[in-house]
């Protein structure tokens, strides 16, 4: 079924009928421009003209929160004084105040008003946290986090890996690195094939720049000249010292004579200030300190035996480390294997004057000594399991020290650019960075440099690079962050205050200990004088009892019997 719907509409409601024809454009009207009318108009610049054909119609509504403001006025009269009191008359005002203060309601009224008054005073004095009050103060820089990273690694080129004993930076900004390799184990056979040491360019860890080849025994220590980039001196396992010139090959230029050299390995050599600039001194475990001139190594300039009183080499203390500060050219320090640090003065007339001061520092050998670059009377020593900081004013005890580590310490030195920072190496392969201004009980940064025990350490003159050696002949070039190598303005002032405070504390403790010892000595002397006769009689009786004791006699017979039996077997 189809559905049909019919819509009816008048013709007039349809609008005009559209009649379409094919016709071109016609010009309805044309108005050419007239230059004469230009003076009647003003040019508009810029001109904004809309190009939308249709009208833009939009409706926007916006309602804001209304703020209602109310004006209040206060009529204030001076103090609300009564009519019979003239506020300009000081005597009447004082009299009226005393009268009011004597009334009973005065104190409660003041107490009730004080709380509201204090509240409004604090409200007026409060600071707006969103307002910039100190616009002239520069913002503090962000604290840089301390970090350490390994830059390069230099390997021992020999098949038999030997420990790194000493490292020295070149004086031309530290572009070269001299490294000695030698095994100092007691009675270990010496191989003449593996006695080389190396000179490295820090930018090329693949091939050494120069291979030092001693003629007989390997080098134990080496030191660059403070001004000449080609001159080095070294101490050898045989006790001899040698002069090297990097321009003249891999053999020494000059060597000392065996008869006048050290009897045991030369453990340390250092250049000293002199008029010629060619003098250095060395020390060894034979207990001698010798001064040399590189122009004639056949005879030392001077020799000091570390035994006092008397210059007996058999009683001399074995030396294992040296310290020399160019700013005090006549003084130096020696660290011994007995844990004693000897502060020496070369200008002393007798050996006793040359070795005037001794510091009982460590339980074992003193492996490193170095003065602080900012405060030369304070020095650092490394030995056994601890690090100690000393002051020359306190001779009985150190002013600061670390706790005993679980691993044996092998070396340590101050940072040349930041006076409060020093570095230490340990036998578990960890490099510790200490900052005494931050904390003294533990290191501010520790990094595992190697799986092998670390043996020695040397810091670059700019403070950012460290050369660390281990027992397998590997030398690692380590870089520390900028904050560990840069001193702030207050570092020296704070460190000086800390050293003075700790030195003063130690002086007070030393004086107190001397006073206690003096009292004990006086008391024991009086007791000995009063009881001497009783002690003599008691000792005679005790000796008689000792000789007649059968148990003692039996023990002696057994002891001598065991000795005779072991002698016959041997």
Q: pLDDT by residue (tens digit) across 322-343?
A: 998 888 888 889 999 888 998 8
Please name every residue paired with 478 in a beta bridge, in sequence order, or none if there are none. 150, 466
Q: Nearest CA to 253 among 243, 238, 261?
A: 243
The pLDDT of residue 539 is above 50: no
pLDDT of residue 108: 87
pLDDT tens-digit map of 230-246: 899 999 988 899 999 98
Residue 255's alpha-carbon distances to 181, 197, 252, 277, 384, in angstroms, are 19, 16, 7, 18, 34
d(CA 197, CA 149): 26
Please name every residue paired with 425 in a beta bridge, in sequence order, or none if there are none. 411, 431
What 3-state DSSP class applies to 507? helix
pLDDT of residue 521: 84
DSSP class of 226? S
User: Which two tokens mark 207?
Assistant: 């091939």
pLDDT of residue 549: 58
Q: Is residue 497 part of a domain?
A: no
Q: Is residue 9 part of a domain?
A: no
**Exposure string over 111-130, b if 16+ CB within 10 A, otherwise e:** eeeeeeeeeeeeeeeeeeee
d(CA 536, CA 547): 17
Q: Nearest CA to 422 among 431, 409, 412, 430?
A: 412
The pLDDT of residue 468 is above 90: yes
pLDDT tens-digit map of 79-123: 567 878 887 888 888 888 888 888 888 888 888 888 888 888 887
Q: Is residue 249 part of a domain?
A: yes
**What's the average model confidence in pLDDT over 165-189?**
85
Q: Is residue 415 part of a domain?
A: no
Q: What is the mean pLDDT of the chain?
A: 83
Q: What is the dihedral of CA 528, 533, 539, 545, to 10 degrees?
A: -150
The pLDDT of residue 165 is above 60: yes
pLDDT of residue 548: 47
Instruction: Name the pLDDT band for 274 (thresholds 50, 70, 90).
Output: confident
Residue 265 is part of a domain; what is its CATH number?
Answer: 2.130.10.10
d(CA 495, CA 501): 10
The pLDDT of residue 177 is above 50: yes
pLDDT of residue 547: 44
CB 170 within 8 A of CB 227: no
Q: How many domains does the chain have?
A: 1
Q: Is residue 202 part of a domain?
A: yes
Q: Is residue 569 part of a domain?
A: no
Q: Is residue 176 part of a domain?
A: yes
User: Which two tokens mark 58?
Assistant: 């939009």
The residues near 365 (Cβ < 8 Å, ≥ 6 apart) are 320, 321, 335, 336, 337, 338, 339, 383
First and final C-alpha spacing in the chain: 140
Backbone phi, then psi, for 99, in 5-degree steps?
-65, -45
Cα–chain-centroid distance for residue 390? 17
Q: How many CA atoms lie within 13 A of 543 on its CB side?
A: 6
pLDDT tens-digit map of 131-149: 666 666 666 555 567 888 8
The pLDDT of residue 187 is above 70: no
Q: CA angle, corner 45, sides to 39 and 48, nearest 5?
A: 120
pLDDT of residue 192: 56
pLDDT of residue 248: 87
Q: Nearest CA to 468 among 389, 410, 382, 417?
A: 410
Q: 299 is in which domain, residue-wise?
A: 162-360
Instruction: Name the pLDDT band for 190 (thresholds 50, 70, 90).
Output: low
Q: CA angle, corner 559, sides to 557 and 561, nearest 5?
A: 70
Cite the DSSP H helix spans in 38-160.
90-101, 106-125
What is the biggest distance separating any 2 CA atoms in the chain, rounded to whole angstroms? 161
pLDDT tens-digit map of 197-222: 989 998 888 888 999 888 788 889 99
d(CA 432, CA 457): 11
The pLDDT of residue 543 is above 50: no
d(CA 447, CA 466): 13
Q: Is residue 541 part of a domain?
A: no
d(CA 339, CA 358): 10
d(CA 453, CA 283): 25
Q: Which of 124-138, 272-286, 373-387, 393-407 has the lowest mean pLDDT?
A: 124-138
């Amino acid at each position: 079924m189809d559905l049909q719907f019919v819509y009816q509409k008048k013709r007039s409601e349809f609008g005009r009928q559209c009649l379409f024809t094919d016709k071109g454009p016609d010009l309805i009207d044309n108005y050419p421009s007239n230059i004469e009318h230009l003076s009647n108009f003003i040019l508009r610049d810029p001109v904004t003209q809309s190009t939308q054909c249709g009208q833009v119609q939009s409706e926007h509504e916006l309602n804001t929160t209304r703020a209602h403001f109310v004006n209040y006025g206060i009529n204030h009269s001076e103090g609300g004084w009564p009519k019979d009191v003239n506020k300009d008359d000081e005597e009447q005002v004082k009299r009226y105040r005393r009268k009011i203060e004597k009334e009973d309601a005065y104190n409660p009224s003041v107490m009730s008003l004080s709380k509201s008054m204090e509240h409004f005073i604090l409200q007026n004095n409060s600071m707006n946290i969103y307002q910039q009050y100190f616009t002239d103060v520069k913002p503090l820089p962000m604290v840089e986090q301390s970090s350490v990273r390994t830059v390069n690694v230099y390997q021992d080129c020999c098949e038999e890996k030997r420990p790194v004993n000493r490292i020295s930076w070149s004086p031309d900004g530290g572009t070269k690195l001299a490294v000695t390799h030698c095994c100092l184990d007691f009675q270990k056979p010496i191989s003449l094939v593996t006695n080389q040491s190396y000179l490295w360019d820090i930018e090329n860890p693949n091939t050494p720049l120069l291979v030092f080849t001693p003629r007989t025994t390997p080098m134990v220590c080496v030191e660059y000249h403070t001004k000449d980039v080609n001159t080095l001196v070294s101490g050898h396992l045989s006790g001899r010292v040698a002069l090297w010139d990097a321009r003249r090959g891999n053999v020494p230029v000059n060597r000392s004579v065996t008869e006048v050299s050290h009897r045991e390995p030369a453990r340390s050599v250092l250049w000293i200030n002199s008029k010629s600039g060619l003098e250095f001194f060395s020390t060894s475990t034979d207990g001698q300190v010798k001064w040399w001139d590189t122009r004639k190594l056949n005879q030392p300039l001077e020799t000091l035996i570390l035994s006092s009183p008397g210059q007996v080499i058999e009683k001399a203390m074995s030396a294992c480390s040296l310290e020399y500060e160019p700013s005090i050219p006549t003084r130096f320090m020696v660290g011994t294997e007995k844990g004693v640090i000897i502060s020496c003065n070369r200008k002393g007339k007798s050996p006793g004057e040359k070795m005037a001061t001794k510091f009982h520092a460590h339980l074992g050998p003193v492996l490193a000594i170095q003065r602080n670059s900012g405060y030369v009377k304070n020095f650092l020593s490394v030995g056994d399991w601890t690090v100690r900081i000393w002051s020359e004013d306190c001779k009985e005890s150190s002013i600061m020290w670390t706790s005993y580590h679980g691993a044996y310490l092998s070396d340590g030195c101050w940072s040349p650019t930041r006076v409060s920072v020093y570095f230490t190496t340990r036998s578990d392969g960890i490099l510790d960075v200490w900052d005494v201004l931050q904390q003294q009980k533990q290191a501010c940064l520790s990094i595992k440099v190697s799986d092998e025990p670390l043996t020695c350490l040397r810091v670059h003159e700019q403070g950012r690079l460290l050369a660390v050696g281990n027992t397998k002949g590997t030398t690692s070039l380590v870089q520390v962050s900028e904050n560990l190598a840069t001193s702030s303005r207050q570092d020296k002032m704070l460190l000086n205050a800390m050293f003075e405070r700790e030195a003063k504390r130690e002086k007070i403790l030393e004086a107190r200990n001397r006073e206690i010892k003096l009292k004990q000595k006086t008391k024991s002397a009086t007791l000995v004088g009063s009881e001497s006769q009783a002690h003599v009689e008691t000792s005679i009786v005790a000796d008689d009892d000792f000789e007649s004791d059968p148990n003692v006699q039996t023990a002696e017979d057994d002891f001598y019997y065991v000795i005779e039996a072991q002698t016959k077997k041997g």
